[in-house]
Amino acid sequence: MKHIIQLLPDHVANQIAAGEVVQRPASVVKELLENAIDAQATNIQLLIKDAGKTLIQVTDNGIGMVETDARMCFERHATSKIKTADDLFALQTKGFRGEAMASIAAIAHVSLKTKPEEEEVGTEIIIKGSKVESQEVCVTPKGTTISVKNLFFNIPARRNFLKSDNVENRHIIDEFQRVALAHPQIEFSLYNNGSELFKLEKSNLRQRIVNVFGGKTNEKLVPVNEDTELVKLSGFVGKPEFSKKTRGEQFFFVNNRYIKSAYLHHAVNAAFEGMLRDGYQPSYFLYLEVDPKSIDINIHPTKTEIKFDDEHSIYAILRSAIKHSLGQFSVAPVLDFDKDPNLDTPYAYRNKESITPKVEVDRNFNPFKQETKKSNPSYQHVTSKATKNWEVLYPETVETEVDFANIEVESEVVNGKLFDEKESQTNSNTFQLNRKYIVGTLKNSILVIDQHRAHTRILYEELLKSITIKGAVSQQLLFPLTLNFSTDEIEILKELQDNLTQTGFVFTKVEKDGVEISGIPTLISESEVSILLDQLMSDFKDEVPENGFTQTDMLAKSLAKSMAIKNGNILNPSEQQELIDALFACKEPKFTPANKKVFAELTTNDLDKKFV
């Protein structure tokens, strides 16, 4: 029998390892940024083109590498971070697997330029698909520059599975933000296709958060600090009134490493219990410092999940610390009235006594006493002349009797009802059940209609018509509405702006950290705009379709769901009938855009079976 088990060639093994390490361009960004931080860099620049598919370049001013290290860093399992197995349980650095550079070089064209500070010249290495093309001496500043071009050039299937440029850009921005938030003492900059997206100077933690998510974030933050033997907790949580339906601004860092933890997220939600509206999420930027020996970060390929030795204690500390901070800084209402300076006492009069005003009264004054002698004679003459024959002004009227019996008047029969017979009969055929269902009749059956789903279907078809055929009517706001969003949310809005304009939105400004809206659709109120757009961001968080019809369809579904009347709203009989009429005027009244049933029909046969 032949031997069937063989050792894989190095290039095949590298490609398999690359499938685990490099899932998308954002994975390359994460690995390169973390390597730059481990190299003690104080300034890191990230440059991407075509969402990282064409170019990802990271430049740092770290310690650099000598010629031998530059060549060795592309070998599998080569690292400077650990030497023994025990080092895995006392990690203080980011990259320690020794597979990142080898995996990236296996599926891309990589160029490396590096130079230590004490060397006069540096080293340049060019690798294509794990094969070293050249290694030469070069002139380069202190630090390292790594350029990754044509990602997945030799794995076309993997490249075809990548999402659109906008989606991949958002993943890159997410990774960049996570690294930047963990290291406020380092300067970061991000350039996308030649335009600057971020320029983050060295700052404290609060300022770094504000620089990443916009100036309005500062007023939302509540500091959290707790120092115990088990964990040192610091960071910020958002005030409850600024909570959103999306889960974008939620960050946990353990020893300056970004992690995801559903267990710790539950602890934060428990601290906010009773303060958030249903379906809303708190924002938080929490940093935990623990003993490296008390955690295991080697349980997940991307190292975003870790295992704590004592999770229950950390849960309790986190929950109580956030509750304490919310009670101290946020929950108590603050009255901040603007002071009118006009009400202040002038400085020159502060020490003076007030003077009581004197009122003089003429006690001999008689309002009924005639004073004709003192009056103006000319005025008196004109007045007397004008009123001498006053009877002439009122001619005598002749009273005539009118026979009202012979007068014909047009009048309607007063029936004592607000609506006419037809409308009254129509309205009496519907009623609302439990503020959720509208019950009506249809020939020999009873209709039970879900009011929220019915309105969703009606709005969906109206919005599709507005976007594709004609522009919707917009109501102009007296004062423009300013809303703040993060950088990736602004990118989503830019992609949807044309279609949103067709639905009735009027954008006067679209800037890096916010938008200004001067007109909104007639179907919503000004107070609902922020909620509606937040829900829109959540629905399009994963991907904004490039296909025009698909994007329009998703937008109409999202807006219809947010704008539809909610269960619990009271509808009067005329509104109930109007909703039913509009529903059955739709092309597909039976199902919602999400293919859920809108109404149920109960026939007389169904009722007969109930009484058997």
* pLDDT tens digits along 422-435: 443 444 578 888 88
What does the pLDDT read at residue 531?
Answer: 82
**Bigger pLDDT: 133 vs 485:** 133
Range scoring the smallest mean pLDDT among 126-130, 134-138, 436-440, 549-553:
549-553
Structure tokens at 541: 């968080």
Which range among 247-256, 307-316, 401-410, 467-476 shows the weakest confidence by mean pLDDT?
401-410
Residues sharing a CB contact under 8 Å with residue 261, sequence separation 6 or more, in sequence order: 252, 305, 306
Which whole-number Å values give the CA distances from 463 to 263, 380, 493, in the listed order?
A: 40, 77, 17
CA distance 258 to 175: 9
What is the reported pLDDT for 378? 47
> E strand or H helix at 33, and its extent?
helix 25-38
**Virtual CA dihedral for 111, 116, 117, 123, nearest 10 degrees?**
-50
User: Assign residue 479 a region: left if phi > 0, alpha if psi is -120 to 50, beta otherwise?
Assistant: beta
Are 233 and 317 within 8 A, CB to CB?
A: yes
- Look at strands 187-192 and 43-49 and give their pairing: parallel
* Alpha-carbon span 79 to 64, nearest angstrom: 14
Element (H, E) at 194: none
Confidence check: pLDDT of 377 > 70: no
DSSP H or E run through 361: none
Mean pLDDT along residues 368-381? 55
Ranges for all domains in the chain classified under CATH 3.30.565.10: 10-200
Would you list the DSSP string of 477-523? EEEEEEEE--HHHHHHHHHHHHHHHHHT-EEEEE-SSEEEEEEEETT
Query: Where are the domain boundaries for CATH 3.30.230.10 in the chain?
Result: 212-329
Average pLDDT for 351-372: 75
pTM of the predicted model as reported, rounded to 2 decimal places: 0.70
Vertex 285 angle, CA 256 and 254, to 5°: 25
Q: What is the amino acid identity at position 195?
A: S
Of the candidates 138, 87, 131, the residue with the CA atom closest to the CA atom of residue 108: 131
Which pair of structure tokens corresponds to residue 121?
């010249």
Question: Within its chain, how far is the Cα of 384 from the centroid?
Answer: 81
| Residue 608 burial (CB count, 10 A) | 9
Strand (E) or helix (H) holding 108: none
Sheet containing 437-442: order of strands: 431-433, 437-442, 445-450, 599-603
Calpha distance 524→559 (Å, rounded): 10
Q: Which residues are 582's β-sheet partners?
A: none
**pLDDT tens digits, 488-515:** 788 888 888 888 888 888 999 888 778 9
Architecture of domain 212-329: 2-Layer Sandwich (3.30)
Cα end-to-end span (Å), the chain: 75
pLDDT for position 440: 87
The dihedral sign for the CA sequence 21, 27, 32, 34: negative
Q: Which two tokens stand for residue 400?
A: 């005539």
H helices present in 301-361, as ranges: 311-325
Q: Where in the chain is the domain with CATH 3.30.1370.100?
A: 431-601
Separation between Cα atoms, residue 486 and residue 181, nearest integer Å: 14
Strand partners, 281: 244
Under a CB-based contact definition with an 8 Å cutoff, are residues 505 and 515 in contact?
A: no
pLDDT digits (tens, 9 = 90+) for 142-194: 999 999 999 988 888 888 888 888 888 888 999 999 999 999 999 999 999 98
Dihedral angle computed from the Cα positions of residues 524, 528, 534 and 535, in that order, rounded to the nearest 10 degrees: -60
Q: What is the CATH number of domain 10-200?
A: 3.30.565.10
pLDDT of residue 234: 94
* Angstrom distance (rounded) from CA 35 to CA 17: 18
Strand partners, 199: 189
pLDDT at 90 over 90: no
Backbone angles phi, psi at 335, to 5 degrees: -100, 115
- Tally Cβ neighbours within 10 Å of residue 502: 18
CATH fold of 431-601 reads: Ribosomal Protein S8; Chain: A, domain 1 (3.30.1370)
| 210 Cβ contact list (under 8 Å, min separation 6) | 217, 218
Q: Which helix (H) or strand (E) holds 254?
A: strand 250-254
Contact 143, 64 (CB under 8 A): yes
